[in-house]
Structure 1
Amino acid sequence: MVTTSYFFFYPYFGCRFVPEKLEDLEEHVTGFFKCLPTIPIICISMLGSDYANLIGEMLLLPSFFPAWILLSRLLANSQPVVMLLPVNLLHEEVQLEDGISDQKFSDVDTGSIKHWHCPWGYTVIDCVLPSYKQLLEENFLLLSNTTFAAADIQMKNASWWSQRTMLNNRLNKLLKSMEISWLGPWACLLLGEHSVPDHIEKLVHKLVSALKSEGRFEINYSLISAIIGGAKSVADAESCINQLLLYKGYFGRGACCGEERFRAFSAVAQTGLATEFIHDLVKEALAEYAEQVAREPVIIVLDSDVQMLPWENLPILRSQEVYRMPSVSSIFLTLDKSCSHHKRDSGFGTIIPAVDPLNAYYLLNPSGDLNDTQLEFEQWFRNQELEGKAGNLPDTKELIMALQNHDLFLYFGHGSGTQYIPEKEVQKLHQCAATLLMGCSSGSLLHRGCYAPQGAPLSYLFAGSPSVIANLWDVTDKDIDRFGKALLKSWLHEELDALNNSPRDGPNRIASFMSQARDSCKLPMLIGASPVCYGVPTVIWKKSQS
């Protein structure tokens, strides 16, 4: 028997081969980095339990952290960046009236109350962010179990909206706390690239040279460039640089812990802090950047323990163009497979898929009970001369043909639509439209124990869809309709000037205006943060204008 390699199996995305011989490893790694697109890939993993204990023991830390974030930044023609960040339990300060008590459902027959089933079971996130699961459960209960008697409908409706607004505000605070506590100044590593003037590049080179002389260890140019290009302030940039000097570039820290908790591992006492020369270089470099700089998109790769969180809505990413994928290998395969249909230059060096938003098929209110949604979209879709069905259900064969023969598939109904188009049928396709799934939890992935998460978005990607926009949790129809309408209008250029508040280089893409579409919602966090974009950057391209 002859064996040439071992492999790891990625659900939906084939195998990743690893060399059997050590001498072949260098060639394999070199090939991996050559395949990287010119789009930053940000990998985020959460290490808890035994891993957290091991890290604490290795670093000889005086106190325990329940988890650590392993953050990697990969980019073609650049040295990879890897940072280890401690994670502490985030407590949510919620007033008694902010939560949902049993009294809120006094009008509901307790025997008919629906219960929320957590799609991920239990992961390390529940140890460090338990309030997130509670928030989603309260959201579900408000949407599924509230009924109003005719006599007091006005009062109950006001109370319902008050609770929804509180949930919206709580989610907003939770995401801000995540960024400040867990990432701190290192949140800059999540941002996309932007054009760097030559004189700024020279300043970064000077800074790297100065740090090498100060720190007596290898300085990663890509890391310093990301800090200077993404830091919110001189203070944040200096905080990152000071931590690099103190901890020899091994790890950093957010606001969840003070310097004293890492003192045992500090490379130096105070002599490692940035000199005045370094301070001046940082200040000069950051002064050159405009507050609102146009950035290229990023792709975040989230491990199964953190994929349920809306990372795209952290304050630093909220206005950015973000895509998510289940693995780095899946990015390679999706770019390769989806570009075989239509492709265009991205404007930043990588050939990416392209879709024509007018070559679309819609499945609108197939269950027949979302009358407001049908009223909102049906005539508008007809005005755009789109193909599709509204208020009734075509057979599965017609839907499969629509996915295969159109550039864009629009679904406005309950759930992810798998009750009409089974995932197994989707996975059989060799070509698939970009997809908008606007039902409740259409983008939620089911995580069963040690098995990889599964869900409708992954099935569409496997079938060749370049991108899938779907919801992480349950939403209300009218507010998600606002999001969908705003996004579709941005693709069709009807309100491009109104939506495009910042300068943008290159062609418009599927997720270019998701931030503005989120803000069109009445509850921009509770509803607007639910839609995320799985896939790779995909150009919006009208064939009629070619």
Structure 2
Amino acid sequence: MEDFDVFTNEIEYTKPVYKNILNKYVKDIPSTPSGPNYESGRKLMGVEYLADGQERQCAFYFSESASPTLRTLAVYRDEQLRNSDNKLNKITAYIKPIQDIIDANPVMSKDEEELLQLFSNDTETNEILNQYEYDDDLPLYKKYMRFGSENNIDNFFKILRELPKEWTIIQLTAPYNPNENLKPFVDYRTEIDCLYLTVLTNDYLDQDIGPLTIEIPANVTKGEEKPLFEELYSILDENYKTIDNAQFLNNKRLVQNYWSRREDIDLRMKSVINVMYKEWLGGWSSLLTGKLIDTKIRDRLINLVDTAIADWGFFKLTKKQKVLLYNLLEHSSVLSSQQIKSCIRKILTEHGNTDDVRTSLNTSDCENCNNEFKFLNELCLKCLSKCFEKVHKFTLVDGIKAFSQVALKIRDEWDDLKKAKRNPVILIVDEMLDTFPWETLPIINQQPVSRIENIHFLYMLYKIHEDSIVDGYFMAKADVGRYVINPEKNLERMELRMSSFVRYWCPTWGGHVGHAPPPERLLRELRAADVFLYCGHGDGGAGGAVGAGGAGGGSRAAVLLAGCGSVRLARPPARAPAAAAHHHLHVAACPLVLGMLWEVTDLEVDKAVSALLALAVPSDAPLAWRRVGKADWSRGVLDLNVEQRDPVPPERDMLRAMCRARGATNFIMIASSMVARGLPVKMPDE
């Protein structure tokens, strides 16, 4: 027993060396917590740090809350691969830790020395094991995937600094809901009263002002309108029933009713997107956009806004308020006046210095407000306005007017900003928010946008493919193409359409039409391909093949899964975590997976998918795909004897190509279903 420490009032016991060794393999087993519980705990901690104004800690804990179960899958698969490559890995992994403990305890009792001889009394075994060295120097991207000491704020910021400077990385987090433990998923999935939007990297963030988070309350409905979440799931249920019942249409009246319902569903989804943009996110949608490629425009905007701040005497604005204003005013030309003014008001009142507000707050005349608030948005507008006036020495109305004038100047005079190109956006979307079609919001629907499960997977994919990433894009190849079309042999017209497209546009590709390859063959083709196309029902078993095959970090394919719900998160019963095919593909280091969020119909999807590939993949075809006559496409017949018109410019950026390909269908339900998951990818020029 150690001496009693009078300063700490504690007694420390020194355990015998052999107990330290045995305990090591109890305590140091890689932690694999319950994903849903880990997620809930990290969300709660993030909110607490946000209430205390500790934005960096908030961003870190929110990042830890995103898809934690998938990290366990990645760690488990990595251990499987290491053990399969080195049969002695499990044994040699014990050598160095034991030796470290022994070396750290040079003075041992006689009993301990005799006991430890159990580890070294076999000379022949020792000689064999000494030939192997235990490699515990894992790269950071593997360590950070695990639930250990490496998951800390310092490494979190190290990763953000290391990722390509071109990326804008945004995380959308749903709040913790205790009903997740009590209700079925279909019941609590609509019980979301707000979301947290965290800007991890952005044009206007730097080392002085790191990630920032804002809380966006859920949309308030009017009259008999359904809440936004209820309406979205109602649309998807109706969409599924309508498409599923299409096989039973046997007369003209039923067919007319089918198309009428499809049009109604389309209009309702258009309304959902409109409400998301105009009423729910409002001006905060400006935070979802990518960095300007022309940095001179950004610098000019900063100078204009800073001049307005100095001229009006906004000396008490926080750095967070300035960053929010830069982003908002940059998009003056695409946001409505109401969106801009409402957001300016919130920036000036709800995102100011909390201590200044507490000092100037007088609640004697207000029944609803008190000094016990956690967030400034808990105070009423009247109290916030009075606090603003005391802090800044002029009225809130004047403050809104000042920046509204800046917005008007940008809208009327900055034509180059309206047309400016932007770098990619990476969205980390909470599993509870993943069903929403974020990419089709008007403010970003022409920008390159991709989703990723969490910062851990984004960093992993970046490090694995780092040598192939230039200016924020994975520079892909298109030498090897593989496809599987209609493996279940029950989509005859789709088979004729897509097989004729592949023969015309990608004649060197190989694949399977009308039958499914064995899983091991599918796995080999996924590994070998630069581009992999699947057309059929669901995801075609691509995720299952990769998961069962134990594919490592060698995949380089851009995978396009053109089936119903092919990249949808599926929820097993109870509180099990969500799962999807792209999870397995990302674990296998596949850089990009494109697919559908919900049920779709084959003709419209064929139009969009063929348009996407024709824009992104180089071809020696005589005519641009858009110019090819398709009157008999459903019979597999292409008409090349058409009038020559202006050439169709290609789009080698697959995310931008997806934006253009959405316009190939007239159905919003089809266009908004298409999403990309993974890294931004560019195809080679011809």
Structures share fold, TM-score greater than 0.5 = yes
> What's the CA shift for 1:369?
1.4
Between the two structures, name the one with larger relative contact order (CA 8 Å, sep ≥ 6): 1
Aligned runs of 1:141-220 on 2, under 5 Å?
Answer: 141-148=241-248, 150=250, 153-196=251-294, 198=296, 201-205=299-303, 207-208=305-306, 210-211=308-309, 213-214=313-314, 216-220=316-320
* Alignment partner of 1:323 out of 440, 446, 450: 450
- Name whichever structure is richer in strand by fraction: 1
- Residue in 1 aligned with 2:679? 536
CA distance in 1, matches of 2:480, 2:293: 33
| DSSP-derived class of the 2:567 partner | coil
* Alignment partner of 1:511 out of 655, 658, 678: 655
- Residue in 1 aligned with 2:605? 480
TM-score (norm 2): 0.63
| DSSP-derived class of the 1:138 partner | helix
1:443 aligns with 2:570: no
- Residue in 1 aligned with 2:631? none
Aligned runs of 1:80-95 on 2, under 5 Å?
Answer: 80-90=211-221
> What's the CA shift for 1:129?
1.4
| DSSP-derived class of the 1:414 partner | coil
RMSD value over aligned CA atoms? 3.6
- Residue in 1 aligned with 2:423? 296
Does the aligned pair in 2 maintain the 1:67–1:128 contact within 8 Å?
Answer: no
- Residue in 2 aligned with 1:223? 324
1:138 aligns with 2:261: no
Does the aligned pair in 1 maintain the 2:532–2:560 contact within 8 Å?
Answer: yes
What is the identity, as a one-letter code, of the residue corresponding to 1:512?
R
* Alignment partner of 1:370 out of 486, 491, 506: 491
Does the aligned pair in 1 maintain the 2:286–2:327 contact within 8 Å?
Answer: yes
Does the aligned pair in 2 maintain the 1:414–1:440 contact within 8 Å?
Answer: yes
Does the aligned pair in 2 maintain the 1:440–1:475 contact within 8 Å?
Answer: yes
More divergent stretch after superposition (139-148 vs 303-312): 139-148
CA distance in 2, matches of 1:453, 1:278: 43
For each residue in 1:156-177, what CA deviation from the matched residue of structure 2 results, as whole angstroms up to 9, or x when unmatched? 2111111101101110101111
1:272 aligns with 2:396: yes
Aligned runs of 1:386-397 on 2, under 5 Å?
Answer: 386-397=509-520
CA distance in 1, matches of 2:593, 2:297: 40
More divergent stretch after superposition (159-168 vs 272-281): 272-281
> What's the CA shift for 1:370?
1.2
More divergent stretch after superposition (26-35 vs 330-339): 26-35
| DSSP-derived class of the 1:301 partner | strand
- Residue in 2 aligned with 1:73? 199
What is the identity, as a one-letter code, of the residue corresponding to 2:558?
A
Does the aligned pair in 1 maintain the 2:546–2:588 contact within 8 Å?
Answer: no
Distance 1:277 1:199, change over 3 A: farther
More divergent stretch after superposition (396-405 vs 379-388): 379-388
User: Segments of 4+ in structure 1 off by > 6 A?
Assistant: 2-8, 91-94
Percent identity of paired positions between Structure 1 and Structure 2: 21
> What's the CA shift for 1:295?
1.8
CA distance in 2, matches of 1:29, 1:148: 54
Distance 1:369 1:173, change over 3 A: same
Aligned runs of 1:287-366 on 2, under 5 Å?
Answer: 287-290=413-416, 291-339=418-466, 343-346=468-471, 350=472, 352-366=473-487
> What's the CA shift for 1:234?
7.7
* Alignment partner of 1:400 out of 519, 523, 536: 523
- Residue in 2 aligned with 1:248? 351
Distance 1:25 1:209, change over 3 A: farther
Aligned residues: 478
| DSSP-derived class of the 1:246 partner | helix
> What's the CA shift for 1:344?
4.5
Does the aligned pair in 2 maintain the 1:321–1:512 contact within 8 Å?
Answer: yes
Distance 1:50 1:496, change over 3 A: same
For each residue in 1:347-372, what CA deviation from the matched residue of structure 2 results, as whole angstroms up to 9, or x when unmatched? xxx3x322223421010111111111
Structure 2: 5+ residue runs without aligned partners? Answer: 1-19, 33-63, 76-143, 180-190, 355-376, 628-645
> What's the CA shift for 1:285?
3.9
CA distance in 1, matches of 2:674, 2:224: 26
- Residue in 2 aligned with 1:129? 229
For each residue in 1:439-478, what CA deviation from the matched residue of structure 2 results, as whole angstroms up to 9, or x when unmatched? 1111111234544321101111111111101111111111
Does the aligned pair in 2 maintain the 1:214–1:272 contact within 8 Å?
Answer: no
Q: Larger C-alpha radius of gyration, 1 or 2? A: 2
What is the identity, as a one-letter code, of the residue corresponding to 1:388?
G
CA distance in 2, matches of 1:293, 1:161: 39
What is the identity, as a one-letter code, of the residue corresponding to 2:196?
L
Aligned runs of 1:377-388 on 2, under 5 Å?
Answer: 377-383=498-504, 384=506, 385-388=508-511
Does the aligned pair in 1 maintain the 2:219–2:227 contact within 8 Å?
Answer: no
- Residue in 2 aligned with 1:464? 589
Aligned runs of 1:90-129 on 2, under 5 Å?
Answer: 90=221, 129=229
Structure 1: 5+ residue runs without aligned partners? Answer: 52-64, 95-125, 252-257
Does the aligned pair in 1 maintain the 2:593–2:676 contact within 8 Å?
Answer: yes
More divergent stretch after superposition (265-274 vs 164-173): 265-274
| DSSP-derived class of the 1:176 partner | helix
- Residue in 2 aligned with 1:121? none
- Residue in 2 aligned with 1:417? 540
CA distance in 2, matches of 1:335, 1:41: 13
Distance 1:535 1:417, change over 3 A: same
More divergent stretch after superposition (1-10 vs 397-406): 1-10
| DSSP-derived class of the 1:513 partner | helix
CA distance in 2, matches of 1:127, 1:174: 10
What is the identity, as a one-letter code, of the residue corresponding to 1:216?
K
CA distance in 2, matches of 1:435, 1:324: 14
> What's the CA shift for 1:338?
3.4
